[in-house]
Structure 1
């Protein structure tokens, strides 16, 4: 009986560990992508500011 309980416990621990590892990987991926998205937005805003500044100079 103890052998069966040990096997079930071992299987449960493996499943929980796999799920936890997967979740941690997904969270890390979200953080990485968010940082990249913020950098892309910053670059876009800097480009827009440069275009607006150029357009303002051309208007004068």
Structure 2
């Protein structure tokens, strides 16, 4: 049986790193989006998709 996710049960260092990632996620997405528009490569597009997915997951508190 799967346990429920409780963000309050996380260790303090993990909470802090999650908060820092949440703070920098949108600026990194914007920078990567501009970079992808100017110099499109397959890696840049995949990296932008991964960043957007991480940002969405952080916003709806899945991570």
TM, length-normalised to structure 2: 0.33
Normalised TM-score (structure 1)? 0.34
Q: Which structure has the higher relative contact order (CA within 8 Å, separation 6+)?
A: 2
Tell me which protein shows more helix as a share of its residues: 1
